[in-house]
Structure 1
Amino acid sequence: MAEQYRLSITTRGRGSTEITGEIAALVASAAVDVGIAHIFVRHTSCSLAITENADPTVRRDLETLLQRWAPDGDPAYRHDLEGDDDMAAHARSLLTGVSLSVPFADGRLLLGTWQGIYLFEHRTQSHRREIVLTLLG
């Protein structure tokens, strides 16, 4: 059995947005009792991650690391059609990933105590992002 949903999330620009609640609500309302929640973002300049949800400095530090690994405006980049953050955003998305799989049972995500699901926006401007959630059971 499978169910599929689409979520639209508007970001505030570069940074993380927790989406655990939205995903958990859909899992809770689903007819599938046990299975895998596959979460996929349909873009190449943002990504998904499961990370610490108790201390926001973790996400700020992750952003610091991403800035080091894929800095905006690097003169070696050739792809800059949409600005200095264009290629950096694509690289950050590649480094962090565009899909996640999370087990669920009895209408609940089986995340660890301090785990949350986040959409990471890698562009400096706000964007509307589409996420596809597929529940397989």
Structure 2
Amino acid sequence: MWSQHTLQTRTRGRGTYDVTAEIDQGIADSGITTGLAHVFLQHTSASLILCENADPDVRHDLEGFLSRLAPDGDPHYRHDQEGPDDMAAHLRTVLTSSSLTLPIAQGRLALGTWQSVYIYEHRTAAHTRSIVITLQGIGD
């Protein structure tokens, strides 16, 4: 069996937003108990990450690293139509990921104890982000 749905999430600007519970709810609604979840973010200035969920300092340090690697307003960027964070956001997306493929077990994501799925918003302003979740597997 398979299922597909789109999840809409509103961000408040640059940062990480845990969407694990929403993905798990979609899996529960599908009736799939064992299989795969493909999670795809339909944007070029935000990404998906599988990251530590217990200590927010991990995500804080990730932001610090990416801000050094892809700084806002770098004078070498040509693409800045939407402001100084425009090209930096695109670079951060390329360096992270737009999709994840994750196992489903017992009707939910089979994540490790300290793992969660996050939208990583790279723009400084709020945005509505769309995630296409495609589920494949079997039910009980």
TM-score of the pair, normalised by structure 1: 0.98
Aligned equivalents of 1:29, 1:7: Cα separation in 2: 13
Aligned equivalents of 1:47, 1:99: Cα separation in 2: 8
Give the partner amino acid of 1:63. E
Identity between Structure 1 and Structure 2 (%): 57
Aligned equivalents of 2:90, 2:2: Cα separation in 1: 31
Give the equivalent residue in structure 1 for 2:124.
124
Q: Which residues of structure 1 form unaligned runs of 5+? A: none
Aligned equivalents of 2:102, 2:115: Cα separation in 1: 11
Give the equivalent residue in structure 2 for 1:96.
96
SS of 1:93's partner is helix
TM-score of the pair, normalised by structure 2: 0.95
Aligned equivalents of 1:3, 1:123: Cα separation in 2: 30
Aligned equivalents of 2:33, 2:125: Cα separation in 1: 38
Q: Which residues of structure 2 form unaligned runs of 5+? A: none
Aligned equivalents of 2:69, 2:48: Cα separation in 1: 17
Aligned equivalents of 1:44, 1:58: Cα separation in 2: 23
Give the ranges of 4+ consecutive aligned residues of structure 1 lying more than 3 Å apart after TM superposition. none
CA RMSD of aligned residues (A): 0.7
